[in-house]
Chains A and B, each alone.
Chain A
Amino acid sequence: MNNIAFNIALPLLAAFLLPVIHNGSAKASRLVGPFVLLAMCWFAAAYFIFIEHPVALALGGFLPPLGISFHLDQLSLLMAVIIPLMLLLLWPYTNREGFREEALLLLLAGASSGMALSGDLFNIYVFYELLSVASFGLAASTHNGAAFAATFRYLVISGLGTVLALTGIGLIYTQTGTLNLAHIGQLAAQLDNNVGLAAFALIVLGIGVKAEIFPVNGWVPEVYATAKPRISALLAGLISKLAVLAIVRLLVVAYADTDALSLLLVLGILGIIWGELSAWRAKDLKRMFAFSSIGQLGMVLVAFSIPGEAGMFAGLAMMLHHLLVKPALFMLTENWSGSISSLTGAARQSPLGAALFILFALSLIGVPPFPGFWAKLIMVTGLVGADDSLYLLALGILLTATVIEANYLIRCAIQLYAPADENSSQSAKHGRLTLSISSALGVVLIISLFSITPLGNKLYQIAAEASNRSLYINTTLSNAQVPALRKIQ
C-alpha cells in the first residue's frame, strides 16, 4: 500500500491527534512526530525509486483538470523526500515545551509536501496558506516581545501577500477558466497578455513574501534574528525554496517565453544587491545570515530566470546548495547570538563549530572544489549563455556580490580564530545536538563533493524533466492515474 497522498494525510492526521495523544501520554506523543516523518520519507523515497514517474495522481478520483491532481516528477518527489528529512534533522528533540510546536512542525511538513507535489494552482495556494500560518506560530514560539513584534510584521506582510496572490490566481482563472497547472499550460496563449502577466506579477510578489524576494522580504532579518535557530534554519532553508518552486512551476508551464522572465531577473538582481550589501554591515551573525539568505535567494531567482533547461539546472543547483548550507549556518548561531565582536576567540570554545562555519562559508562563497562552486559555475555559464545584456549585468552583479560575501563571511571566520579579548562572550560553546545537526549537513556536503559527477548528471536530468513543458502537460492531462472510478449503481 503506497500512495504519496499519505505524505499529506499522515502529518495532518498526526497533528490533529497530537493534543489527544498528549493528554493520554506525553511520552508517546513525543514519538509520534519523528515516526510520521520517517514514514513520509519512506513513502516519498519509495515512490522515487520504485514507481515509474513522471506521473499525475488524481485525488478524490476525479480526473484532472476537473479534480485536483498531484504532479509527481523527479523534482517534486525529491522535495517530498527532502522535506521530512529536513524536519527530522531540525526536530525539537530536546524541547520540553509541549506538543504544540511539534504539531505545528507536522502541519508544516504536510503543507510543504502539498506545495511540492500539487499540480493545481489553488491547491498550492491553500497549502501555502497553511504553511504560512504554521510558520507564524513557529516564528513566535520564542515567547519574547521582539519575536512577537517581528512575527506581527511578518503576519501583516504575509497576509497582504496572500491576498495579492489570490487576486493573481483569480485573474488567471478569469483568463483561462481553469486552475489545474497543466491545463493552464495548455491554455498559456491566453495568458500572454497584460492581464496574464499582471496575474503572474501578483502571484510572484504574493508568494514571494515567503521566497524572500526583494522587496517583499522586510520581515526576514527581524524574524530570523528573533526566532529559534531551528526555525530560522527551516524558514530560510526549506520554506523559501518551496515558495520559489511554486513560482517556477507556474513560470515553466505558463510563462516560459514571456516578459515574466525579466520580472524575475530584475527582482533577483535587486535582491542580490540589497541582501549582500546589507549583510556586509550586519551587527550580529543571525542578521548577517538573514541578509545573506536574501542575497542567495536573489541569486536563485536570477538563475531560474535564465530561459530554458540551463536556467532550471542552474536554479536547482543554487537552490539545493543553499538548502543544504543555510540551515547548517543558522544552527551554528545557537550560541553565537550576540554581536559579531563578541565572537572573538569563539573557535577555542567550539572548535568543531568554527571548522563547520568555515566549511559552509567556503561552499557558500563558491570556492572550488566545494559543491557551491559547481552550482555557481553552472549559473555563470548559464548567464553568459543567455546572451542578453541584462543577463550579463546580472553576471557582473553576481560576481561582485560574491566578493562582498567572501568579505563578510571570512571576516567572521577570522574573528572566530582571533585570540579572545574583553568583548568575547564567555559561553560560545555549542550544544551537542546543534553540532551534530550541523555536522550531519557537513557530511552531506562532503559526500556530495566527492560524488559531484553523478549528482550533476542526475540534477541535469531532473532539470531537463522539470523544464519540459509539454511533458508536464501531457503527464497530467493524458496520463493521469486514477483508480477506476467505481460505477455505482
Chain B
Amino acid sequence: MARSSATDVIPQLQKLLGREGVLSDPADLVVYDCDGLTIEKRRPEAVVFPTTTEATAEVVRLCNRHEIPLVVRGAGTSLAGGCVPIGGGLVVSLTRMRRILEISLRDRMAVVESGVLNLQLARALAGTGFHFAPDPSSQTACTIGGNVATNAGGPHTLKYGVTVNHVLGIEAVLGDGTIVRLGPVFDRAALDLTGVIVGSEGTLAIVTKVWVRLTRDPQDYRTVRVVFESLDDASAAVSDIIAAGIVPAAMELMDRGILAAVDEAYHFGFPTDAEAIAVIELDGLKAGLDEQLTRVAAICQRHNAREVLQAATADERALLWKCRKMAVGAVGRISPSYIIQDGVVPRTRLPEIIRQITRISAKHGIRIVNVAHAGDGNVHPILLFDERDRDSVRRALAAGKELLEQCIACGGSITAEHGIGIEKIGLMETLFGKENLEVMGRLRDALNPAARLGLGKVLPSPDAPKILETVGTCQALP
C-alpha cells in the first residue's frame, strides 16, 4: 500500500490543531510506545491532541487522503495493547477533551467528552445521590472514552451491567471522517449503532462525546470479606449465591498469592494463611440488607468459610475496595513483569477453570496469582515472569494462551472487559471461527471502510501486521 508517512503531514496537522496539539519530535514519541501491556511495542509517527469533534474529524479526513492509519488513545491503561499503533501511523489522544458538559439529575444523564476521567465524573457526582455505574479497577486513571471503547465493566458489573448498559448516546467520527450523533433520546428509526460502537475498541469510530446514564446511589452497603480454606470452596460459594437468586452488587475473589502483594501495599491485615478471600458487597435499601447478608453468610459457611467479617466503617469499606482495585498494580511488588489475563466462563464453571489455572501454572512453570470478578465468571489470572528472561516470557505467553483456550472450551470467552486489542487477536478465530469473523468484518467495512481506524486491532486479517507470534523474540524498543 502506497501510503504516506505521518511525518509528511505534520504541517497540516499543526495547522489544524496548533503546534501544541501535535507531537512529532522523535524524542517526544518514545513514551507512546505502549500502554498497560508492555510486551508489545510500536512507536507512533506522531501524536495529536484534538480538542473538538470537528478537529478529530478533520484529522481522520486528512489521514484518509494520505492513507495514514490512526489509533485512538485515552489514558493508556489498556491491558490488551488497545492503544498501541500496531499498524503504524498516528496516535489520536483524546486527553484534552475532558470537559463535563452537563449533568441533569432529572434526566439521569451526564454529557461528557471522551477524555473525562471516570473518577472525575464520579467526583463531580459525589453528593448528588447518583453515580455512573461502570467502575473498572483502573477507575482512578481511565477515561470514559476508554470505558466506551472496551465496554468496560468492573466489580459492580454483576448487579449494574457493563458500560453499554449505561450509554444513552454518542457523538463519533466514522472511518471516512463523517460525524454522527446518536441518541441520547431513543430513536426507533435507526439501527442501534451505539450498541455496536460501544466495545469496538475504536475500530468502528472514534467516540468523542458520550451521554451516560446515571444510577441512583444505593441507600446502604454491606461489604464483607470471607476467608476460605481453598479457592475451590470460594468459587463454589460464589456460584451457589448466584444460583440462590441473590444478586449482590459485587463478588470478588483474591487468592493467597495476590493477597500478599496487596497487604504489603495497603496494610489491610488480611490473614496471611488465607488461601482465598471473597469480597462480597450487597447494596440497596437499608431495610432488607441484613436479611440478605444472613443468607449469603450461611451459603459461605456451607462451603467451609473460616470467617465472614463485615467492613465496620465507610473507611474500612473504601480500603477494602482499594485493596481489590489496586491489586493488579500491587503485583509489581512481587514480580518484575506480569501479564494479566481476562478470561470469562459460565459462572458454574468457575471452580473448573480455577483448577485448570493451577494445572497450567505447574505445566509451564509460571507462577500465577488470581483475582476474579467471580460473580460474573470473569477470571483475571496474573502470570508472573521476568521480561529480561526470554524463556520466561515465552512460557508466560504459552500459559496465557492455553488458559484462554480453556475458557473457550468451558463455553466462555477470551475477554470480558479488557478487549481484544492486539494481544488476543490470535485467538479470535478459535473463538468465533472464520465465518463469523467475516460477518464482523462487514460491519467494520461499513463504518470504517479502509480499516484505518485501529489498523491491526480486534479483527485478524492476512495483511494486518504480524504480532505476538513474534513475541518470543521481542525486545525493548528501539
User: Are A and B associated in one complex?
Assistant: no
Q: Residues of A with Cβ closer than 8 Å to B?
A: none
